[in-house]
Amino acid sequence: MELWHAAILGIIEGVTEFLPISSTGHLLLGAHLLEIAHVEFVKTFEIAIQLGAILAVITLYPKRLLMDRATITRVITGFIPTAVLGLLFYKIIKTYLLGDVRIVLAALFLGGIFILFFEQFKKTEGTKTIVDLSLSEAAAIGALQAVAFIPGVSRSVATIFGGLWNGLSRKEAVEFSFFLAVPTMAAATGLDLLKNYELLLAPENIQSLLMGFVVSFLVALCAIKFLVRFVSTHRFKVFGYYRIGIALIFLCFIVL
pLDDT in tens, 95-142: 656 667 788 888 999 999 999 999 988 877 889 999 999 999 999 999
- Quote the DSSP letter at residue 252: I
Q: How many CB atoms lie within 10 A of CB 83?
A: 17
**pLDDT over 70, % of the chain:** 93
pLDDT bucket at 252, cuts 50 / 70 / 90: confident
Per-residue b/e over 227-251, b at no fewer than 16 CB within 10 Å?
Answer: bbebbeeebbeebbebbbebbeebb
- The pLDDT value given to residue 101: 79
Q: Which of 132, 220, 115 is nearest to 178 (CA)?
A: 220
pTM: 0.87
Is the predicted pLDDT of residue 255 greater than 60, yes or no? no
Is the predicted pLDDT of residue 151 greater than 90, yes or no? no
Q: Which of 145, 138, 175 is nearest to 159 (CA)?
A: 145
pLDDT mean over 189-196: 76
Q: What are the angstrom distances between the C-alpha of 9 and each of 6, 133, 216, 231, 251?
A: 5, 35, 8, 26, 21
Are 13 and 220 in contact, with CB atoms under 8 Å apart?
yes
pLDDT bucket at 191, cuts 50 / 70 / 90: confident
pLDDT mean over 156-179: 94
Q: Which residue has the higher pLDDT, 251 or 72?
A: 72
Which tens digit of pLDDT belongs to each residue from 56-91? Answer: 999 999 999 999 999 999 999 999 988 888 777 666
Which tens digit of pLDDT belongs to each residue from 15-53? Answer: 999 999 988 888 888 888 888 877 777 878 888 888 899
Is the predicted pLDDT of residue 153 greater than 90, yes or no? no
Query: In whole angstroms, what is the distance from residue 171 CA to residue 84 CA?
Result: 28
Query: In whole angstroms, what is the distance from residue 191 CA to residue 188 CA?
Result: 5
pLDDT bucket at 200, cuts 50 / 70 / 90: low
